[in-house]
Structure 1
Amino acid sequence: MAANYVIHDVAIFDGERLLDGRHTVVIDAGRIADILPAGAVPASLLGEARSSGRLVAGDGRTLLPGLIDLHVHLTWSAGADPVATLALETPEQTLLRSVGHGLAQRDAGITTVRDLGSPHDLAIRLAEAVAAGWVPGPRIVASGRTLIMTGGHDPFWGLMVDGPAEALKGVRTQLFAGAQVIKVSATGGVYGRAAGEAVDDVELLPEELAIITQQAHRRGVKVAAHAIGEEGITNCLDAGVDTIEHGHFLTREQARRMADAGTILVPTLFVYQQVAGAAGVPEYASAKARAIVERHREAVAIARDAGVRIGAGSDAGSPGTPHPSLVEEIECLVGAGLPPTEALAAATSIAAEALGLEGEIGRVRAGLAADLILVEGDPTTSVAALRHVTHVWQSGRLTVRPM
């Protein structure tokens, strides 16, 4: 068997659990061709891989699926006030800076990101450029502009719609623009506007959310909903959205509904801790974050108790939340009560399901795309091992290797 790469004698976290024993993974034509017990690999395969320079020795490391961050903003700077930074830049400057943010994500082992808001649909254009091979970066699933009510959350990249007719026009506009996910704002938020926005404000109405979700689903596109307050979360669940972003005031009844429907919670714990305490963040945002950060951890516990699947999203680019911040988010999930294997699944197999890409990425499984990372140590005992990435493969291409 000819192979592009042979990763020999490694521990494997397959996206759900740590496999027993040590294994060898064969990559061919961009996909995982085979997974063999390390002691049962033909000598000819190892010899051929060694002579061609395509043999990677495990050396006590762990192989995982490439990580997936379900909530980023590549156009945001991660400074104390990213909205102010956007206002100082041309769209061209913002796009160029976003390329660097994407590279930083990839080099940290994050091979896929879901970008949930960008001005001028810039993240959609960047996603197309990466897919075409024009620039390096992670796979990007992008919403472009978000659908909001007039004056709603995140107006700097929002497409404002009022009433079902405009909501229909808005979702069709974003689908035509190339959005691979639709982002809606169902409630107010913490950061973005100094006045006129409370976290539990109901923004898009039930009938607006319903027609947006219906139309997106007709095109096979998922819907992610920014929803902090209880009433807004209910409206999203009634509409049938696919993921709830943030979900601070999630109730036990809502969690039961989510578990029954398969709706995924992407809590983004880390960013709210940062906004609450990072230096230089506008005080209006810090004050709102401080008021809800403890309730946020409670919401994660409620969701987990009800059997809700939890996905990992960092909100990277937001105030004090660098590109990348996914490891910090995974650590927050562990701090909120998830065992390390569940927190890792939140950034691999469950995240792939949230994207509708479970048949392509998110697991170490024969036949799937070879989006893989190799890390020092065992992240199933300490997720901090994710900070020590030595190799990154994207569709079988080794894009990060030891210097």
Structure 2
Amino acid sequence: MNYLIRSKKIVTVSQLGTLEDGAMIIDDGKIAEIGNYERIKGKYPDIDVIDCSNYVITPSLVDCHTHLLEYAPTSLYSVTPETHFLAGKAILLHALSSGITALGEQICGHPFCDFSKEDYQKVGRDLPIDITFATTSISIGFENLAHFTSITKSRGVTQFDLSDPLLVQMIALESDYPGENIFINATPANFTEKEVPRAGEIIYKQEELQRIVNIYHRLGKRMGAHVAGEEGINLALDAGVDVLHHAHGITDEQIEKAAKLGTIIVATPMGGTHLQPNAPEEILKFVQKDIPVSISTDSYLPPFQGTSWLPFQDQALKGPDVLMLIAQPAMKLLKKHDYDENKILALLTDNPAKLLGKDDVFGRLEAGLEANFLVSEGIPGLEIAEINQIKNVFYKGVKIIDRL
């Protein structure tokens, strides 16, 4: 497939910045050339043109922390093992319709799902979406703490087992990126507060956590952790955890320390831990300290109640369709502080692509990368927050969602 696509502006999230009256040449699923429309059209006078000159083109979105294939199907639908992945495919289609063409998916182990990483990989193999998997262990804050791992699947393990070097090594070897490889705090998951009274309880001692981090690093792997609260974050920073997922309740001193250590943060403004999630002002502080930060949904998830930046009035589970909505307050705050729209949009595109190890594949619009892009009424998250304002979604140059 070879064509030219034109828009009133292209926000490239690359060194090219924003191109007014921009155009891209798409060839065999990749961006072959990008620049000013008149110049490129003059160079290729006979090429087919898709005219989107009333709209904005941006990279498609990357949600780097999700639970769409393991926990969401049983939470949203009355599925059995035979229909679990039918629900999974429906959920992935919903993500695509929300402008998301790449995911960072967690495989934690689930009491009702005896599936392997390979089973989850098969689901997305023939779909127009890129999924990178993190294999993990998980601790859920029920009255009796429940522990599972991606390796042991539906069979629960003990808290002691979570630090077993052999099991840790098996999890680490299968993990493709630093997702929630371990849960330093017991998670509320997507349960109500009454169901998980021990959510937030710290699971690891410092020496246990240090041994786990060392195993990942010896294998040449970066490690990420679910963590919240000053004590848990101190444990993570002191042990050399590479990526803090959530980091709810982080202090200014800890932000300074994370910046010095080169720690990455995945912010989840909708929730995901026992504490109030990342406020827009907190995300601004991360950016001001040059901490690589991505914004993610952690979906499917009930939104945290009592925040000033979330519009939700109930605790119904929210999915990938709210990524732009929950990111918008922080993105608008960054704009007020004179950050460039390309740097702002990177929180939903290039930064999470880097975390997934895919920044040489997608996340920006530049020659040689995959043609994964959106045609929208405005810049996702910054100027628009409703998915019907995304008119087209392209994956590897092929239009897969069409609202025009």
Q: TM above 0.5, one fold?
A: yes
RMSD of aligned residue pairs (Cα, Å): 3.4
* Equivalent residue, structure 1, for 2:104: 114
Match of 2:58 among 64, 84, 93: 64
Match of 2:121 among 128, 142, 145: 128
Q: Distance in 1 between matches of 2:391 and 2:40?
A: 23
> Once the 2 structures are TM-superposed, how far is the Cα of residue 369 of structure 1 from its aligned partner?
1.7
C-alpha distance 154-58 of structure 1, shift in aligned 2 (>3 A): farther
* Equivalent residue, structure 1, for 2:262: 262
* Equivalent residue, structure 2, for 1:364: 365
Are 2:391 and 1:394 aligned? Answer: no
TM value normalised by structure 2: 0.78
More helix by percentage: 1
Match of 1:90 among 62, 80, 91: 80
Show structure 1 runs of 5+ residues with no match.
Answer: 50-54, 273-287
> Once the 2 structures are TM-superposed, how far is the Cα of residue 76 of structure 1 from its aligned partner?
6.3
TM value normalised by structure 1: 0.79
1:312-331 alignment to 2 at 5 Å? 312-319=295-302, 320-331=317-328
Aligned amino acid, residue 321 of structure 2: P
SS at match of 2:182: strand
> Once the 2 structures are TM-superposed, how far is the Cα of residue 321 of structure 1 from its aligned partner?
1.1
C-alpha distance 385-24 of structure 1, shift in aligned 2 (>3 A): farther
> Once the 2 structures are TM-superposed, how far is the Cα of residue 157 of structure 1 from its aligned partner?
6.0
Kept in 1, the 8 Å contact 2:66–2:300? The answer is: yes
> Once the 2 structures are TM-superposed, how far is the Cα of residue 324 of structure 1 from its aligned partner?
2.6
* Equivalent residue, structure 1, for 2:334: 338
SS at match of 1:112: strand
Q: Quick check: 39-48 or 377-386, which moved more?
A: 377-386
Q: Distance in 2 between matches of 1:329 and 1:322?
A: 11
> Once the 2 structures are TM-superposed, how far is the Cα of residue 62 of structure 1 from its aligned partner?
1.3
* Equivalent residue, structure 2, for 1:351: 352
* Equivalent residue, structure 1, for 2:67: 73
C-alpha distance 174-45 of structure 1, shift in aligned 2 (>3 A): same
Match of 1:143 among 114, 117, 134: 134
Are 2:81 and 1:100 aligned? Answer: no
1:252-331 alignment to 2 at 5 Å? 252-271=252-271, 292-293=275-276, 296=279, 299-319=282-302, 320-331=317-328
> Once the 2 structures are TM-superposed, how far is the Cα of residue 250 of structure 1 from its aligned partner?
0.6
Aligned amino acid, residue 214 of structure 1: N
C-alpha distance 259-109 of structure 1, shift in aligned 2 (>3 A): same
> Once the 2 structures are TM-superposed, how far is the Cα of residue 198 of structure 1 from its aligned partner?
4.0
> Once the 2 structures are TM-superposed, how far is the Cα of residue 333 of structure 1 from its aligned partner?
2.4
